[in-house]
Structure 1
């Protein structure tokens, strides 16, 4: 159960202001079909979470628990630093495919190499639980993206993304430092 809750919280926090959330808002506004955008988003984040979690469990089988704890610390520190870097809105390109397919493709592309994916990888390895970690991460990312899908472009005016990103970055940096100290046995 720890894997599920931890992955949910980590992915939910990491999702604020990230490209997946921005793509979701822009696509929802452009297509006017938030339901289809949410379906495409769901397919993409489930696939991304399962792949990242499977890789984490695979790596965890080859390294000691302490090393996986350090991996979690690095993922948290990376998430904190990445949250401090300003983001530009992603390009949506042409809209010749069905909305659900466009949402799935663009959301999957936006997820590649993002904070939630690294956190899912590290947490799945640390807890050695692919199903719970992947489910928690997918649900957390979906929860972060739902307001964007429902509000469309109004999301950017209604939510103070910059302040949220900086606050979450600070939380990730503090958590990463604490986990690193514990993993290194310095406490």
Structure 2
């Protein structure tokens, strides 16, 4: 259960203001079909989270609990630093591409190697629970994507994305330092 809740909270925070969330808002506004865009984002979230969780269990079985805890701390610190980096609007590709396909491809590309995937990888290995870590991450990704899809173009002006992103970044940094200190105290 720890993996599920932790992955959900971390993914929810990490996805606010992230490229995949902004892609969902822009694609939903352009296509006028938020349901199809969410379906594509869901497919991308499933693939991305499942791959990260599977890889995390492969690594988790080969290193010590201290090393795995330090990896979680590193993932949290990475998420904090990445949250402080300003990002430009994502490219949307061709308007002729069906909304579900555009959302799936673009969101999957945006999620590869991002902070949500790294956190899912680390949590899956740390808690040895790939299905719960992936499920939590998927739910967190969708939790951030739904308001973006429903609000469309007004999302950026309605929601204080930058403030949420900065607060989330500092929470990740603080939590990462605490987890690192706890991992270094293990004997």
The answer, yes or no, to whether TM exceeds 0.5 is yes
Q: Which runs of 4+ in 1 moved over 6 A?
A: none
Using the size of structure 1 for normalisation, the TM-score is: 0.98
Are 1:118 and 2:111 counterparts?
no
**Counterpart-to-counterpart distance in 1, 2:97 and 2:128:** 38
**Structural RMSD (CA):** 1.1
* Aligned equivalent of 1:56: 56
2:42 is paired with a residue of what secondary structure? helix
Aligned length: 187
Mapping of 1:1-187 within 5 angstroms? 1-185=1-185
How far the C-alpha of 1:95 sits from its partner, in A, is 2.3
How far the C-alpha of 1:96 sits from its partner, in A, is 2.3
**Counterpart-to-counterpart distance in 1, 2:112 and 2:33:** 24
**Counterpart-to-counterpart distance in 2, 1:93 and 1:124:** 33
Q: Deviations over 1:112-159 (max 9, x none)?
A: 111100100000000000110000000011101110011001000001
Using the size of structure 2 for normalisation, the TM-score is: 0.98
How far the C-alpha of 1:37 sits from its partner, in A, is 0.2
**Counterpart-to-counterpart distance in 2, 1:90 and 1:165:** 16
